[in-house]
Amino acid sequence: MTKPATAPAVWFPAIRTGTGSDVFTLQLCQGLNASGIRAEITWLPHRAEYLPWTVTAPKPPPWANIAHVNTWLHRKFIPANLPVIATMHLCVHDPALVPYKSRAQKLYHKLWVKPLEAQVFVHARYVVAVSRYTAARTQEAFGLRNVHVIYNGVPMPADTALKRRAPHKSFRLLYVGNWSRRKGVDLLAPIMQSLGTDFELRYTADAHGAHQSAALPANCTNVGRLNHEQLLRAYCDADALLFPSRLEGFGLVVAEAMSVGLPVVAATSSSLPELVTHGETGLLFRQDDVTAAVASVKRLAEDITLWERLSIQGRQNAEHRFCLETMVRSYEAVYRDLIGTA
């Protein structure tokens, strides 16, 4: 008689950092439970990243047969008696990131984070990256092989929530993200200055207030920090996402914009060409090229047929490649393979 296969049961010991990795863990856990896979998060305080000896290591739930971790987790929080899968969200050892680090960050990443991640990879049976770009940088930095790629997923709003319309008379751009040079925020002012009064930019506030020191022209408006529902409304009320980021591990904001049919104008950097196909699901401009960015935005604003086509095809692209259910199914397949129940 064949023994019944054991179903995956997943435990996430996760450090709460207030970043996109928290959203990833929460959405994956919720998606697994919705699909019938038992999953649970044990949140650790942020200091567990840099002062792990001050935090008591939690015990895995007795029902768990897999531990899923992010790569910055200290080895004291990694259970020895469970198979481990690790997800890499951004390889901070990427040489392309060096110009955007402070001296302190360089030392922290080299002397603390890289040894932490190396230990995680020793324990992990599966290493997953959120893009092909991140997988390649991870393999280069650690000499790994077989880093699997599973794109991040985003919830797909119902079509009835989208109700696309003609662009605003003053073409409305949206920037979503924190304010760092890595994100290309220093390009927003010259882009908007060149675009002029027929265009406006609405931008989200930085978590630490860095946007307050930005010298932006009058056609730029701060919309503050937005929760999920407010962000969805902001996407739906914009005419295009402007995303000049120089380096992304994945590009969650781009996937979110496409999920509501918002055309994307983004830089050809890091993982972003994996999300956006130029002229088909969005427009790409050469990294750091203000003139090209301005030309792309104007092209989109002046060609309603292009605008409508990118809206529709961007949404279809997100549904096919970046929906939350696709991500959950991909991880479920990894879990089943990990415990030998595929």
133-146 average pLDDT score: 95
When mean pLDDT is compared across 17-21, 77-81, 103-107, 314-318, the lowest value belongs to: 17-21
How many CB atoms lie under 10 A from the CB of residue 221? 11
241-258 average pLDDT score: 95
The percent of residues above 90 in pLDDT, for the chain, comes to 82
The pLDDT value recorded for residue 210 is 82
- Is the confidence at residue 3, as pLDDT, over 50? no
Residue 235 near residue 257 (C-beta atoms within 8 A): yes
Q: Give 1's pLDDT tier (boundaries 50, 70, 90).
A: very low
Read off the tokens for 212: 């307050």
Task: Give the total residue count for the chain.
Answer: 342
pTM of the model as a whole: 0.92
Express each pLDDT in 309-338 by its tens digit. 999 999 999 999 999 999 999 999 999 999
Express each pLDDT in 32-59 by its tens digit. 999 999 999 999 999 999 999 999 999 9
Please name the residue that has the structure tokens 């998606």. Answer: 31
Q: Give 5's pLDDT tier (boundaries 50, 70, 90).
A: low
240-264 average pLDDT score: 95
Read off the tokens for 14: 């996760």
Please name the residue that has the structure tokens 């959405």. Answer: 27
- Is the confidence at residue 159, as pLDDT, over 70? no
- Is the confidence at residue 293, as pLDDT, over 90? yes
The pLDDT value recorded for residue 315 is 93
The percent of residues above 70 in pLDDT, for the chain, comes to 96
- Alpha carbon of 172 to those of 23, 295, 300: distances in Å? 27, 15, 11
Q: Which domains does the chain show, CATH number per domain?
A: 9-153+323-338 (3.40.50.2000), 159-321 (3.40.50.2000)
Q: Which amino acid would we find at residue 247? A: L
The pLDDT value recorded for residue 104 is 95
Express each pLDDT in 86-119 by its tens digit. 999 999 999 999 998 889 999 999 999 999 999 9
The pLDDT value recorded for residue 164 is 60
SS (H, E, C) the chain: CCCCCCCCEEEEEEECCCCHHHHHHHHHHHHHHHCCCEEEEEEECCHHHHCHHHCCCCCCCCCCCEEEEECCCCHHHCCCCCCEEEEECCCCCCHHHHHHCCHHHHHHHHHHHHHHHHHHHHHEEEEEECCHHHHHHHHHHHCCCCCEECCCCECCCCHHHCCCCCCCCCEEEEECCCCCHHHCHHHHHHHHHHHCCCEEEEEECCCCCHHHHCCCCCCEEEEECCCHHHHHHHHHHCCEEEECCCCCCCCHHHHHHHHCCCCEEEECCCCHHHHCCECCCEEEECCCCHHHHHHHHHHHHHCHHHHHHHHHHHHHHHHHHCEHHHHHHHHHHHHHHHCCCC
160-167 average pLDDT score: 65
Q: Give 161's pLDDT tier (boundaries 50, 70, 90).
A: low
Q: Give 162's pLDDT tier (boundaries 50, 70, 90).
A: low
Express each pLDDT in 174-198 by its tens digit. 999 989 889 999 999 999 999 999 9
Burial readout 153-175 (b: 16 or more C-beta within 10 A, e: otherwise): bbebbeeeebebeebeeebbbbb
Express each pLDDT in 217-233 by its tens digit. 999 999 999 888 899 99
The set of residues, in sequence order, having a beta carbon less than 8 Å from that of 267 and lying 6+ positions away, is 184, 243, 244, 245, 246, 284, 285, 286, 287, 288, 293
